[in-house]
Amino acid sequence: MKIALPADIAELIEDGATLMVGGFMGAGTPPRLIDELVRRRRRDLTVIANDTARPGVGIGKLIDAGLVQKLITSHIGTNPETQRQMRIGQIEVELVPQGTLIERIRAGGFGLGGVLTATGVGTLAAEGKRTIEVEGRAFLLELPLKADFALLNARRADYLGNLEYALTSRNFNPVMAMAGETVVAEADDVVPIGVIPPDAVMTPHVLVDYLVAKERVHG
């Protein structure tokens, strides 16, 4: 695990990269990393996330800047700008039920071939997807999701890179940490090894490639 600045990470992320971004309505989304991607104008991104928050918030900043080419998400109802770009064909949006989305990410991270779910059977969501019958019941085969980078936000990290999350930040961040080729965690606070109780560590350091610490402000 390496300590890095947001600029270091933005340098690694090329145009056209696929990003998993943790968080729920901006909570658990890494703000400094998002800001740096906007500043560097990283374009044609594919973003996998629960939502796009709101204009000017979290992933909404990437949407505002027109940097997202494709979005795989569970809902866009809180961001009118995402809806506008989808309507005019500026952004491709794949809407995935929330439970299915997290299971597809988990499948990608755990090396599974897919997820069988009854959600969406007999609806528009089933179009173009393989249907498998199990004990007389129909299921859709939903394929795994992986990403070039998983961008996470942790409440605390230690100097090894063990991560602790707060509240709803735990919904997507720990699972995305398994499914990103390169895992980057932005921590609100970095503490000495041993301060975070072992049972509070949701993402172990062996999964984290880069840790972005919060800058200290003096005066």
β-sheet bridge partners, residue 31? none
- pLDDT over threshold 70, residue 156: yes
Q: What was the pLDDT predicted at 214?
A: 73
Task: Convert the pLDDT of each residue in 112-151 to its tens digit.
Answer: 999 999 999 999 889 899 999 999 999 999 999 999 999 9
Task: Give the span between the Cα atoms of 36 and 41, in whole angstroms.
Answer: 8
Q: What was the pLDDT predicted at 216?
A: 60
Going by C-alpha positions, the residue among 106, 98, 214, 207 that lies closest to residue 155 is 214
β-sheet bridge partners, residue 185? 152, 211
Confidence category of residue 167, pLDDT binned at 50, 70, 90: confident
Average pLDDT over residues 172-185: 97
Confidence category of residue 215, pLDDT binned at 50, 70, 90: low
Average pLDDT over residues 175-200: 96
DSSP 203: B
Tokens 């975070």 locate to 196
Quote the mean pLDDT of the chain. 94
Q: What was the pLDDT predicted at 164?
A: 96
pLDDT more than 70, % of the chain: 98
Kindly list the structural domains of the chain, giving each domain's residue range(s) and its CATH number in brackets, ordered by start. 2-114+144-213 (3.40.1080.10)
- pLDDT over threshold 50, residue 101: yes
Average pLDDT over residues 170-184: 95
Task: Convert the pLDDT of each residue in 48-77 to its tens digit.
Answer: 999 999 999 999 999 999 999 999 999 999
Task: Convert the pLDDT of each residue in 1-37 to its tens digit.
Answer: 899 999 999 999 999 999 999 999 888 999 999 999 9
- pLDDT over threshold 60, residue 217: no
Average pLDDT over residues 107-111: 97
- pLDDT over threshold 70, residue 87: yes
Q: Where are the beta strands (DSSP E) in 114-209?
A: 115-117, 131-134, 137-142, 147-158, 163-164, 180-191
pLDDT more than 90, % of the chain: 89
